[in-house]
């Protein structure tokens, strides 16, 4: 769970997850383009790839290789585990 919090601690990684949530199954090129065009972030492909690696290590992104292309998908499972750990309770009036 520490990996999930560390992954979410970075704004760029949160934007990557936002982009994958909006359009799942993107390649590195597509993610870089979306970050540049939509958010004005101009990082190198290598920097974005490193961010994706952190997200993948935390289980928030899963990948699939098809030929020479690698597609990235958002995995909400680790976020659900966090929510299950601290369930919301109804507040009682005092």
> Which tens digits make up the pLDDT trace of 66-75?
999 999 999 9
Strand runs labelled E in the chain: 61-66, 69-74
> Which tens digits make up the pLDDT trace of 3-59?
999 999 999 999 999 999 999 999 999 999 999 999 999 899 999 999 999 999 999
Q: What is the pTM of this model?
A: 0.84
Name the phi and psi angles at 27, rounded to 5.
-85, 170
User: Any residues with CB less than 8 A from the CB of 82 and at least 6 apart, and which?
Assistant: 1, 4
4 secondary structure, DSSP code: H
Domains and CATH numbers, the chain: 2-85 (1.10.10.10)
Distance CA 90, CA 88 (A): 7
């Amino acid at each position: 769970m520490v990996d999930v919090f560390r992954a979410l601690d970075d704004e760029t990684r949160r934007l990557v997850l936002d982009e994958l949530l909006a359009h799942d199954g993107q390649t590195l090129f597509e993610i870089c383009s979306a970050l540049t065009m939509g958010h004005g972030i101009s990082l190198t492909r290598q920097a974005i790839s490193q961010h994706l690696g952190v997200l993948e290590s935390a289980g928030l992104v899963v990948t699939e290789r098809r030929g020479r292309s690698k597609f990235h998908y958002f995995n909400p499972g680790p976020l659900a585990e966090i929510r299950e750990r601290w369930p919301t309770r109804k507040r009682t009036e005092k």
